[in-house]
Structures are given as structure tokens and as C-alpha cells.
A and B are shown apart, each in its own frame.
Chain A
Amino acid sequence: MRQLMWRFADRYDLQMLVQSARGVARGPVARLVADGGRNAHEWTARKNELLSHYDASGITAAFMEPEEGGFITGPKNLALALAAFELAWVDAGAATGALAGFLGLSPIHERGTPEQLRHYMSLAAPAKPGEDRAPWRAAFALTEPIPYVGVDTGMLSGKVSVAEWSPGAEPVLQVEKRGRFITNMGFANFVTAAVDTADPRIKSSCLVILEETDPGTFDRGTPTKKLVHQLSSTSDPIFSLRVPASRIVGGYTVKDGVIVPNFDHSQVIEAVFRRTRVTVGVMTSAKLLSAVEPVIRYQRGRFRGAEQAAPGSVRYELGIQQREDALHRLVDVWAAGEAGASLGFATARLFDELDPLERKKDAALAAQGIGGMKATMKWMKALERSALELLELEAHPRGEKQEARIAELRGDELVRFALLDAQANVLCPATKLWNTGVGADFMREAVSLMGGYGITEDCPGFLGQKWMDAQLEATYEGPEAVQRRQLSVTMGNPLFLAQLKAWVRELRHLSGEHPGLGGCVIASAMDLWLWTYRHLERSTDADGVKLVQSPRQGVTFKLADALGWLVASRAQILDAVVLAEEGGAVLGEAHAGTARFFADLCHAQAARTAGEVGRICAELVHGYNRHPSWDAEGRAACWSASDADALEGIIPGLAGCSVDVLTEGAHPDKEGPCASCQGISDFRSLRVKVDGCLTGAMLAKDRAAEALSKVMIPEALDYPL
């Protein structure tokens, strides 16, 4: 079922990876957590054993190409997301520990020279049969001690300078870097570290590869006292090392006696985080979905053993699930988990499609001799025009001539790249932001459904730890503010907004074919969001200050939050459609009921989304206008009671037009005249429409709750407690 929904039913390599990762997660990882392995900050021998499990099961090799020792050909975003999901189902620290090596390798993978790529990927690959070697482990060192902690790429205190540069020889660099919160440092053999130039002979910042045997100090630092993710190794390392200049990630050229790195550190980081953030988002969704079964078991067994709950009685069989609230809240948790997973995997798949297109785009630029930021942007603008033309043509009835043009544009890989790139620039931060931030809130809800049990160390499913872990996921690879900042820029891209309009049509169409999924709710909420965005773009606040601009994070960040809800819900609906259309062969007689249940989850989530979007949009549309008061202007807008009566005598019903009536000179008991809706009547119509689209949402929730009270669960969790 999941293979269908998350679109890997035709990928046996991914199916095998899922099975392997599941075995590791619910075996050695779960046993270690159950044995209290999370109770130490140090990287212990037992934690270290997990690495060999990752190697043996193929998780480590999932990042490599077959020629490097891997087994998955082509882009691996979905593969890594699935592995992260399976591991985080039990413990996200283990997921982080297993995947952080990929983060360390990613700069080399994305921007390394062919030689760097070959060398380090082969070292990092698990030993082949007959080989006697331990794979090298990587770490990624970007963040630095306060005040430089975080991923503000404009600030780096780590420095690189030229230590030696003999004529005709390769320069030797001196690297000084202090890291903070660096994962894998307990055992990493090499580190990709971000450093700024401290030497006029080095033009810019860069990423540089540091090995543990390099001359100088490779101090792993003290373990970070994390309250979370204790199955990953984190510490604050100190590096003071000499390395050859060939270790600059992506290589360098020498121009007028100056080393010019081919990529500065922010270019590398952008390429890396663009992909790896998705897996972090998926981790939190895995937690929510993993919480469902333990909560059901707890709720049903709540009264068993009490004298008043005899076997066979409703109280004995259903426990807390006799009551609607417990079921409804669990539906919310499940629905949010589904939405997050759908969004995460959809985004991972998008990157799998985008990666090869991006390489083609780079090749096209190179072939045309286009380089530099300005020239590239100009070239992209032309591409965007073609992509917008395609969207425009697809949106309207068309004749033969247009069909030919549509076919031509659809066949253009670079146009496809532009479309996907605009989506990815939104969906990646949205996944990271919504899945982790909102996911952490819902994880709290899941914990609360377990009562006091939820915050004990031996809570089935480790829910308490998962709740806490979710907060780190919300912080890793750029905290929520960073994601909102990125979204506030990318969501305004005309190519994204045009695609959002196309999604509205797509959802309306799907709603016709698959009613009851909440597609229309989301379509209307998207319309509302789009109208709000356009309105705010050209609006000012009560003081005449522009609303949509970089410093106005009170506006743009909220819009970003709302957009996260929308794209998550849409992804969930699309997955539910696939289940409805293709699930029969897999589920047999259970198909109809299962499809209905997942549709109801979608509907419940869509209603919640519409509520959030409506609230945020209303706050923004109305909130920046100053409320009228009972000043002269405000009173002038009121009717006197006698005037109202006189007009009523002339034209019956006219008095009903009055909003505020002054009686004997006194105004009604409130802050001021009610605010006018001048200029925003469209918003009110759209808002009312969204509210109307909620029709049936609670019935769907009731059905989902009913199904939840009957869903079969195993006798016991399939991993230790």
C-alpha cells in the first residue's frame, strides 16, 4: 500500500532498502533504545555497533552509485527519505547517525571534483566481500560556537590561509575551524568543513576536506549534552590542520597569484541542504505515524484489569476509545503524519526527477558559454517565459495549433527543469518547516493521548523521546526561521504562483472524480492564499509602509506557514487518489474500506488546513488596517436613530443598511465603528467559500474515528519496549 502511495511499487531496490532499514530499526536500534542507550551523551561501544548494522544492511551504501559500492542507480533522494523514515519510526537519532555520513559526503557528491568524488565515495563505501577494511565515515562541519552558530551563510569564523606555496608546487593550506553541534564527530575519519578566507591569496570562502591523519590538531571535542537524538554522535570539534589545496571541494584555479575556489561555501551548502532537508522533514512524520499504534493499544487497554471492566464489555474492549474526543485527536495525529509523509516523499521524488535535469541545465549553460550570476539569471528568465507560456496554454481550451506548441514545450527538458525548480524551491523548505514544526506540535498531542505514560522512558513506541527529538529536527539544517525566510523569497516566484493556480484546477478536477477527499477545500484555500498574497503585495499598512518586503517577516513568514499547510494537504490528497485508483490489486476486499479511511483522513486534514489558512490570511488582510474609533470621522459614518427611522418610513428596510446607529448622541458599546470591507469584498467571498467547503468535514472525521476504533492492531509492538 505504501509502495503505491509513495510511488516506489516499481522500484525493488527501494523496497529492499525499506525492508533492510526496517529490520535494523526494529531490531538493533530498538533494542539499544529499550536498554537505555539514549541515557548517555557519549558515543558508546554499543552505539558504535549500529554503524556496522547500517553497513551490513545496505543503508550506508544507499548513497553510493553501483560502481562506488552501492546498489541503487540514479538519484537517491527518495531512497534516503525512505531509509530515514524507517529508522526514525523507532529512533530519529539513529536515522540521523545513519544519514549524517551522507551529509558529510554531500558537498563532495554535489560539487566535488571527479577525483574527489571517486576517492571519498569509494572510501566511504562498505567493504566488499573479501575486502578487509572499515569504511570511512564523514562529518559535515558548518555550524560554529555562538555567536556564529547556525546556517547564516554570511558569517563564518572558521578560516583558511596559505601556509606554504612553493613555486610550481601545490599550495598547502592552514585550516582553523571550531565546530559546534557537529554530527558524527565521535568516529568521523574525514570532515567537510566550511571556512572563510583569511588570506588575500585565497579569493573566497570554500569547503575543505579534512582528514583525521592530517598534520595538526584534529580534536573531536566534548560530546554535546543533547537531550535528544542520543544515538547520533555530536560534539564541538576543533581543527587546526594543514592540507593540500586539492582538498578544496570542487577544486580551484589560480588567477594572478590568487587561489580562486570553484565554489564558495554558500554555493556548496545551497546544493547540499536543498536535498538533505527533505529527509529531516520525513523523520518527524515517521514519528507521528509510528505513534498511532501504541496510542490505540493504550487507549483500548486503558481499563482492562479494573473490576468495572469485565472482558467482553465495551469498556474492556474499547477503553478510552468509547469517547469521541480521544478518537478525533488521534485522527488529527494520524492525518498530520500522513500529510507530512506525503509531502516529504513527493518532494524527494521531485528532486529525483530534478537532479538529472539540473545537470542538463548546467551542461546547456556550459555549451552556450554562459557563466556568472547575471548571465545565468537572464538565461533562466527566458526559460521561465516558456514555462509560463506552457502553463497558460494548458489552462485554457485550445486548438490544434496550441496543442502542437504545448507538445513542443512539454518535450523541452529545460522547460521541465524550470517548472520543477520553482516547485522544489518552495517544497523543500516547506517540507522542512511544516513537517518538523507542525509535526512537533502534533507529536505533543500524541504524547498527551498516552497520559502520564507518554512521558516515561518505557512508553511503548518511545513517544516521549520522539516528541523531544522532533524539536531538534525542527532546528537541524536551518531552524524554522531559515525555512520561512527561504519560502518568503521563493513563494513569490511567478512560475511557482502560476503552478499553484494550476494546482487549484487540478484539485477541483480530482474532486469531481474523487469526492470526499477534501480537494475542493484545499483548492478554495489555495485561492484564498493566492488572493491574499496578491493583495498584500500591493498593500501598505495603516502607516503606509509596504507589507510584502523582506523585513516584514510578520507578513511573509505567516504566508509561508500557511503555504506549508496547503502543500502538505495537497500531497496527501494526491497519494490518496493513487491508493483509490490502484490499491485494489494489493488490498483486495480491504481496498474500498482502506481507500475510504484514507480519504477521510485527507478530508479531516484539509479542513484543518483550511482553518489555518483562513485564520492566517484574515489576520494579514485585516490586521494591518487601523481599527476605526469614535472620533469625529468615525461618528460621521454613523446614522442617527431618528434619521434611520425617517428613512425607514420612506423606503422600508433601508435602516437595515446602517452598520452603526447613534442613539441620543451615544454610540454603541464597542471600540469604534465596524471596519469597512472596502477593497476586500473578494476576500470575504473567498473566505466564506472556504468555510462553506468545510461541509462534510466533520462527518469525515467521525467516519475516520469510527474506523479507528475498529482498526486491527498487532498483539504487541514489533519492536522492544
Chain B
Amino acid sequence: MSNGYQIVVLGSVVPDPLQTLEPAQTPQGPGLKNELMLPHVLDPWAAHALYEAASLAAKAPGSKVTLVALGPKAKLQQVMMAVGQKVPFDLVALDGPAGGFTDPHEVAAALAAAVRALPGLDRSRLLLFGGWESASRGAGVTLQLVGERLEITDQFQGVDQLTPGPDGSFEVLERVEGGKHQVSWCGGAPAVLGWATGGLGEPRNNPQIGMANMRGVMPALQKAPPAQVGTGGVEFVSVAVPKALRETRIVKDMSPDEIARELVEWIGQD
């Protein structure tokens, strides 16, 4: 297609899932114990969306990818040092909390405002990408709410594949029950696509891409405006991890069949 897409990816940081995540009351409200000390990663679902966006942009000349991220500035910077080396993108950063207790409506309002404020925003070329889910908060509504605020009614969730057509339309594969996909055709942008895992592996780090990205990333982080995001008036009386016995077992050299058999056996014990 001519002029390509304007792909805006919404995604932020989450604590590395390997960490011990312990809910705690902080002066800023509920959060995680030592949250700022924990190593963070780009939300895996958002990461899939970002890599798919970059792949689509590479196939559609004239396309541009912008990552809009709301999170603690220091953590965003740390994560950008790795993510910024993987694919080319512009960054728009909002400085605010990114934990599991933030209110999706407030987050959506801040993100939608940031998207609206993007210079040269062209709705006819706009694809709004993000994670179908999130590793910090599984509500799965933020992306939809941003879409609604931007008055984008064509929304797809659980996307694994997007195939652009020559006329600006595109085919979308969405996950449905039973390991199947629903195939949809969309007439064109604007659209919201909440990605599942897609079909791409994580790109390797490329310092040359990183250096090019950083020319925009660092200023974006420096001038990141504070985002007024809270818990939406919800008062958390207490928070606790589910009372589940967590037993991490490190197993080497186990085949998928063996793992599946063991899981089925374990489920059958209940």
C-alpha cells in the first residue's frame, strides 16, 4: 500500500516473571515489594505486538512504528536498552505506575491522549497494536478502551497473524476455542489489534539499530510527562498472592510428551 501504515504499539514494562512478586502497600498505593529493585522486561504480549509491528512495517514501505509506553521512567529506560536493539521504532514515554493495580480506564485515557497527540497522526493509516493480555494485569481491557476512546471500532483480539492485501485491506487470524483461528477481513485502517503470540521469534539484539533508536528514545524518556494514573478510586484493603503452593522445579532434557504426561497426571490428582 502507498505511504504504509502508522503502527502505534501500546506496551509497558512488567517485573521479570522469574522474580518473587510479593504484594505490598506502598506510599503510592498498592504495589509490589521492592518493585523498583526488580528487574523488568517488556510485557511479553506487548513485545509480540512490537515485533509483529516491525515485521509488518518492513513489508509495507513508508510505514512507521511508534511504541507508546506508560511506566516508571527509570524502568522504561532499563528495558529500552534491550528492546531498543531489536527493531526500529520511535518511543513516546509517559512516566507513571505500570503495576497490576492501576485502573485500566485511567491508563486508557492517558494512552489515548498520547496517541492523539502524536504529530502527523493519520487515522486512515493507523493500526493500534498491543498485547491481547498482560503479564502484570490480565484484565485484557485496556487496549479495547483506548480503541474506544479513539473511536476505532474495528477491533481484533487474540491475533496471531495479519496479512495485508494490495488495496489496504488485511486478513486477520484471531484465536478461538479449540486451538483454531477465526479468519476475518478488515477493509483497512484504522483498527485495533490485540496480539496473542504471533508467529515471530524474538529478534536478536542489533546494536546498530539500538544506536539509531536511542537518538529518539533518550530524549523521549527525558521529556516523558507524568501520567496521572491511579487505582481509579478503588481502595485495596489488603492484597495477597493466591494461597497456592508454588514449587519451582528445574528439569533438564525432558521431552514435550513427558511434560504433557506429567501435567495430565498432576491435574488428575485433584
Contact = CB atoms under 8 A, between A and B. Distances in A.
Contact of B206 (A58, A590, A718): A58
A126 B229 CA distance: 45
A56 B85 CA distance: 11
A198 to B, nearest CB: 44
A25 interface: no
Interface in B216-250: 217-218, 245-246, 248, 250
Interface string A66-101: 000001000000000000000000000000000000
Contacts of A128: 208
B183 interface: no
A15 B208 contact: no
Contact of B34 (A15, A129, A590, A721): A590
Contacts of A153: none
A709 to B, nearest CB: 15
A311 B247 CA distance: 12
A720 B74 contact: no
B22 A712 contact: yes
Most chain A CB neighbours (cut-off 10 Å) among B34, B81, B206 = B81
A218 to B, nearest CB: 32
A698 interface: no
B90 interface: no
Contacts of A720: 252
Nearest to B202: A23
A587 B218 contact: no
B211 interface: yes
B204 A718 contact: no
B214 to A, nearest CB: 5
A19 B217 CA distance: 16
B76 to A, nearest CB: 12
B82 A19 contact: yes
Nearest to A17: B207
B18 interface: yes
Contacts of B205: 16, 19-20, 23, 56-58
B27 A586 contact: no
B121 interface: no
B207 A61 contact: yes
Contact of B207 (A71, A586, A715): A71
Nearest to A1: B37
B194 interface: no
A715 B19 contact: yes
Interface string B144-162: 0000000000000000000
Looking at chain B's contact residues, the main secondary structure is loop
Given A58-B205, A712-B19, A715-B18, A721 B252 contact: yes
A34 interface: yes
Given A13-B211, A23-B82, A586-B36, A715 B26 contact: no
B211 A71 contact: yes
A585 interface: yes
B106 interface: no
A713 B210 contact: no
B248 A587 contact: no
B171 interface: no
A309 to B, nearest CB: 14
Nearest to A62: B207
B71 interface: no
Given A56-B206, A589-B26, A589-B27, A712 B18 contact: no
Interface in A312-362: none
A588 interface: yes
Interface in A676-718: 712-716, 718
A721 B251 CA distance: 9
A398 to B, nearest CB: 39
Contact of A588 (B19, B36, B78, B245): B36
A594 interface: yes
Contacts of B77: 15
Contacts of B246: 715
A484 to B, nearest CB: 38
B16 interface: yes
Contacts of B255: none
Contacts of B85: 16, 19-20, 58
A718 B16 contact: yes
B18 A714 contact: yes
A590 B37 contact: yes
B18 A716 contact: yes
Interface string B1-44: 00000000000000010111010001100000111111000000
Contacts of B250: 716, 721
A278 interface: no
Contact of B81 (A19, A56, A129, A721): A19
Contacts of A57: 204-205, 207
A714 B81 contact: no
A379 interface: no
A721 B26 CA distance: 35
Interface string A588-617: 111000100000000000000000000000
A165 interface: no
A590 B214 contact: no
Nearest to B20: A712
A713 B22 CA distance: 11
Contacts of A721: 250, 252
B81 A15 contact: yes
A17 B81 CA distance: 8
A12 B216 CA distance: 12
A713 B82 CA distance: 22
B84 interface: yes
Nearest to A588: B36
Contacts of B211: 13, 16, 71
A715 B20 contact: yes
A491 interface: no
A715 B249 CA distance: 9
Contacts of A16: 81-82, 84-85, 205, 207, 210-211, 214
A56 B204 contact: yes
A579 B62 CA distance: 45
Interface in B46-85: 74, 77-78, 81-82, 84-85
A712 B82 contact: no
Interface centre among B20, B84, B85, B214 (most CB of A within 10 A): B85
Given A18-B81, A34-B252, A589-B27, A712 B34 contact: yes
Contacts of B210: 16, 58, 71
A415 to B, nearest CB: 34
A32 to B, nearest CB: 13
A708 to B, nearest CB: 14
Contacts of A588: 35-36
Interface in A1-56: 1, 12-13, 15-20, 23, 34, 56
B207 A713 contact: no
A1 B40 CA distance: 13
Given A590-B37, A720-B252, 4 more contacts: A20-B85, A715-B20, A715-B248, A721-B252
Interface of A: 1, 12-13, 15-20, 23, 34, 56-58, 61, 71, 128-129, 311, 585-590, 594, 712-716, 718, 720-721
19 contacts: A12-B217, A12-B218, A13-B214, A15-B81, A16-B84, A20-B207, A23-B82, A56-B204, A56-B205, A58-B205, A58-B206, A58-B208, A58-B210, A71-B208, A587-B36, A714-B19, A715-B248, A716-B248, A718-B18
Nearest 5 interchain pairs by C-beta: A58-B207, A19-B82, A15-B81, A714-B18, A588-B36
Interface of B: 16, 18-20, 22, 26-27, 33-38, 74, 77-78, 81-82, 84-85, 204-208, 210-211, 214, 217-218, 245-246, 248, 250, 252
